[in-house]
Structure 1
Amino acid sequence: MTSEVYMPSPVCLVENLNGKLKANQEALGILSNIEQPLVVVAIVGFYCTGKSYLMNKLAGKKSGFSLGSTVQSHTRGNWMWCVPHPQKEGSTLVLLDTEGLGDVEKGDNQNDCWIFALAVLLSSTFVYNSMGAINQQALDQLQYVTELTDRIRTRSSSDQDEVEDSDEFVSFFPDFVWTLRDFTLELKANGHPISPDEYLENSLRPIYGTGQNNKETELNLPRFCIQKFFPKKKCFVFERPVSGKQISHLESLQDQDLKSDFVQQVAEFCSYVFKCSKVKTLSGGIRVNGPHECVPRLESLVITYVNAISSGSQSCIENAVLAVSQTENAAAVQKAIAHYDQKMSQKLQLPRETLQELIDMHRASEKEAIKIFMKNSFKDINQVFRTQLETSLETKLEEFLKKNAQASSDRCIALLQDIFSPLEEDVTQGIYSKPGGYRLFIQKIQELKKKYYEEPKKGIQASKITCMFWEVAHLFETVE
C-alpha cells in the first residue's frame, strides 16, 4: 500500500457507454491503493460551461480534464484525478469531472439524472456549474435535484414513508457550491450591494402570489429541494475570462492574458474548496478511506452505486453501506488472519513442551488479530464478522495442536532411531550373544535411555512414543 498516489493525468472512473454506466477497473485500482482520507469534489453542469477548467485549477494544472470548446460534450462518464491535498496534509483530493448534462446527442434524460445522482453520492463537495444569472430557467435546469428522492433512498425497509425525513439525506449529502460563469449582473438588492451567497439565498426564496397553486408548486420545487438537501451552500460568480474567440483556447492562456477579476475569482473559489471541503463521509459520520480507522473504501462505494444503477433499482444508501461493510469487514477478517499467521510463524517452533505454552501463544496472537480487525472493520452488525474471525482462529489453534503433536511424534521417533540404531546393529551382528552379553545389553540400554531422556524439545508425545518404543525394545531382552 502507498500512502500517497501520483496521477499525472485524470482517468475515467465511471464509463458511460450507450447510456450504461460501468466502473473502470484501472481507476478502482488506483483508489484501492490510497490509504489517506479522501476529500471528494465533484462538478456537474451543462456541457460547454467551463466545468473542466475549474477542476484543472483545483488540481493545480493548466490542463488535464478535457476542455470542450465546441458544441459537443467532451467528457463522457465520470473522470477522476487524485492529487495530494494542497492544504490538508495526510489527505488526498479526489476531483470528479462529469460529462455535460443536456447533451442533445444523448437524448436520454434518465442517464443525466443518474450522472447527477452519482456525483452527489460520491462527493463531499458538490459543485453545480452554470452560465449567467440564477433565474427560473437556471432553477428549472436543476430538475435533477427534484428527482434525487426518486433515485436515492436512505433506508431499505419496505414500509418506510413515501416522503423521507430530509435529515437523513442531510447526513450524507455533500456541501453545495453554485458557480455562475460569464456573470454580468451587478450584485445589488434594493439598491444595496450583496454578496454572491446572499444572491443565492435570495434566489432560493419561494415564490408566492401567482394565484396558481400548481404553478407555484412547480416553480418552488427546485428551491425547496436545494434548501432541504443542501443546508450548507456557497455561491461564486465569474466574469467572462477573455473576449471573443480566445475562450476556445483558455487552457493555453497565461493568467496575465485573462481578466484580473476572473483570475481573482478563480483563486477565491479554489481557496474555499481547499479550506472548507470535508473528508467524504457516509450517514452516521463514517469517514471514507484511511489506514488507521474503521472505514469503508471509496472504490467499494463506486462499485455498489454503479451496480445499483445498472440493475435499474434505486440507489439505497442503507444497502450501499451494508454492502460496503460486508466487503470491508471480509477484508478486515483476512487482514487479521494474516497478522495472526505472521505472529504465530515468528514465535512458533514445534514441538512445544506443553499444551498450555501453545495455547498462550495462540491467545496473545489472537488478541492482536482482533485488534487489527476492530481497526479495519465498520458496522459489523451483530458481530457476525468478528465471530467468523474468532471461529477461524480457533480452527487454526486446533490445526496447530495437531501439528504440534505430529512434530513431537516425528521428533521422538527420529531421536530414538538415531540413538538406538547402533544398538540394533550390534544385536544383529551378535555382539551380545555370548556369556555376560545380557548384562552388557541391559547396561547399554540404560546408557541410551539416559541419552534419550536428556535430549530437549521432545514435546507432548514424548511419553507415549517412548512407551511404545520400550515395548518393542523389550523383545530384544531375549538375546541371552
Structure 2
Amino acid sequence: MSSNPFSKKIPFRKGNPMHLLDYMCLDEDGAILLDEQALRILKKIEEPISIITVVGSYRRGKSYFANTLLGRHDGFKLGSSVNGCTKGIDIWDTPFYHKDKRIVIIDCEGIDDPNQEVPWANKLFILCLAISSTLIYNINGIVGRDDIEKLFLMTKIASHIQPPNEYQFLPNLVVLLRDFQLDSPPDFVEYFLDRLSKVDHNATKEIKKFFKKFNVYPIPVGIILFQVSF
C-alpha cells in the first residue's frame, strides 16, 4: 500500500508499532520497564528529533488519531471493547524525516482507565510531558470539567519538576476536540481557556506559562485531519 487513506497531505508511513515502556506494580512505587530494542532504534537517530505524543482518556480514539498522523488505519492497535487497548507507551518503529527532523510518534495508555493504578497514571502523563516536543491532548468535542481537571492537575504536578538550566522542558500543547458538533466559537483557544478558568481562576495563566505553544483544533464528525506543526 502506498497511498494515504486519509488525506494527500499526510504520506503513508511504513513501519510497525513497538512497545517502548511498561509499568510493573512491585511495591508502592512500582517499576518502569523499557524495551531494549525500542531504545536502540531511538539511539540510532542522528538528526534532531521531534516526539509527538497522543494522550487522553481511554477509548476516545487516541490510537486512531496516532495512526492518522502516520497516514494509515492499521498502525497502532485499535480496540473494539470497552477496555483500554494501549498499555504503557508504544512508539512507531520507523521515525520519519520531516523538515530536517526525525519524527517519533508515541501512542500513550489512556490516563483514566479504571484498571489503572492512579500513581502510574500520574507518572505516565508527567513522563509524556517530559519527553514530548508536541503533546496532543485528545478529548471529546464537548469539553467537560473532568477533561479540564485532568490536564490542569497534571501540569501542576509536572511544574514541580526542576529540569537542568540548559534543557527547555516545555512542549507544545495541541488540544484536539474530537467529534465537535456545537456551533463554532469565534476562537477555539479562548473557548478552551474560558472553560479552563471555570475550574480554577489561575488555570489559564498556568497553562500559558507551562507550554511553549498552545492551540486548540476542533475535529467535526467525519473529519479527521488538521494541520499541526512538528
TM-score normalised to the size of structure 2? 0.82
Structure-2 residue corresponding to 1:11: 18
Structure-1 residue corresponding to 2:132: 123
Query: Shift of residue 172 of structure 1?
Result: 2.0
Structure-1 residue corresponding to 2:87: 76
Whole-angstrom distance in 1 between the partners of 2:31 and 2:128: 16
Give the counterpart letter for 2:67 in structure 1.
Answer: N
Structure-2 residue corresponding to 1:54: 65
Query: Shift of residue 136 of structure 1?
Result: 2.7
Structure-2 residue corresponding to 1:199: 191
Structure 2 residue 112 is the aligned partner of structure 1 residue 112: no
**Structure 1 residues without counterparts, runs of 5 or longer:** 1-5, 156-167, 189-193, 208-217, 241-258, 278-480
Query: Shift of residue 145 of structure 1?
Result: 1.8
Structure 2 residue 62 is the aligned partner of structure 1 residue 65: no
Structure 2 residue 215 is the aligned partner of structure 1 residue 234: yes
Which runs of at least 4 in structure 1 moved beyond 6 Å after TM superposition?
none
Please give the per-residue CA displacement for 1:104-156, whole angstroms capped at 9, x wherever unaligned.
112x2211111111111111111111113224332112222221134x2235x
Please give the per-residue CA displacement for 1:201-248, whole angstroms capped at 9, x wherever unaligned.
4334x35xxxxxxxxxx63354343122014111111223xxxxxxxx
RMSD (Å) for aligned C-alpha atoms: 2.4
The percent of aligned pairs where both chains have the same amino acid is 29
Q: Aligned pair in 2 of structure 1 residues 171, 91: CA closer, same or farther (>3 Å)?
A: closer
Whole-angstrom distance in 1 between the partners of 2:102 and 2:108: 19
Structure 2 residue 206 is the aligned partner of structure 1 residue 225: yes
The structure where strand makes up a greater share of residues is: 2
Please give the per-residue CA displacement for 1:156-192, whole angstroms capped at 9, x wherever unaligned.
xxxxxxxxxxxx799321100000112221123xxxx
Kept in 2, the 8 Å contact 1:129–1:179? The answer is: yes
Give the counterpart letter for 1:267 in structure 2.
Answer: L
Query: Alignment partner of 2:200: what SS?
Result: helix
Structure 2 residue 162 is the aligned partner of structure 1 residue 153: yes
Paired positions, count: 212
Query: Alignment partner of 1:267: what SS?
Result: coil
Give the counterpart letter for 2:84 in structure 1.
Answer: S
Whole-angstrom distance in 2 between the partners of 1:39 and 1:183: 28
Larger Rg over CA atoms: 1
Q: Aligned pair in 2 of structure 1 residues 56, 202: CA closer, same or farther (>3 Å)?
A: same
The correspondence of residues 343-354 of structure 1 with structure 2, limited to 5 A, is none
**Structure 2 residues without counterparts, runs of 5 or longer:** 1-12
Whole-angstrom distance in 1 between the partners of 2:203 and 2:115: 26
Q: Aligned pair in 2 of structure 1 residues 202, 109: CA closer, same or farther (>3 Å)?
A: same
Whole-angstrom distance in 2 between the partners of 1:109 and 1:175: 25
Query: Alignment partner of 1:147: what SS?
Result: helix
Give the counterpart letter for 1:83 in structure 2.
Answer: P
Whole-angstrom distance in 1 between the partners of 2:176 and 2:45: 29
Structure 2 residue 225 is the aligned partner of structure 1 residue 267: yes
Kept in 1, the 8 Å contact 2:171–2:212? The answer is: no
Whole-angstrom distance in 1 between the partners of 2:215 and 2:167: 16
Query: Alignment partner of 1:53: what SS?
Result: helix
Whole-angstrom distance in 2 between the partners of 1:32 and 1:58: 22
Give the counterpart letter for 1:230 in structure 2.
Answer: F
Corresponding residue to 1:139 among 140, 144, 148: 148
Whole-angstrom distance in 2 between the partners of 1:49 and 1:237: 15
Structure 2 residue 35 is the aligned partner of structure 1 residue 24: yes
Whole-angstrom distance in 2 between the partners of 1:66 and 1:139: 27
Q: Aligned pair in 2 of structure 1 residues 111, 221: CA closer, same or farther (>3 Å)?
A: farther
Structure-2 residue corresponding to 1:177: 174
Q: Aligned pair in 2 of structure 1 residues 125, 239: CA closer, same or farther (>3 Å)?
A: same
Q: Aligned pair in 2 of structure 1 residues 219, 170: CA closer, same or farther (>3 Å)?
A: farther
Q: Aligned pair in 2 of structure 1 residues 138, 231: CA closer, same or farther (>3 Å)?
A: same
The structure where helix makes up a greater share of residues is: 1
Structure-1 residue corresponding to 2:4: none
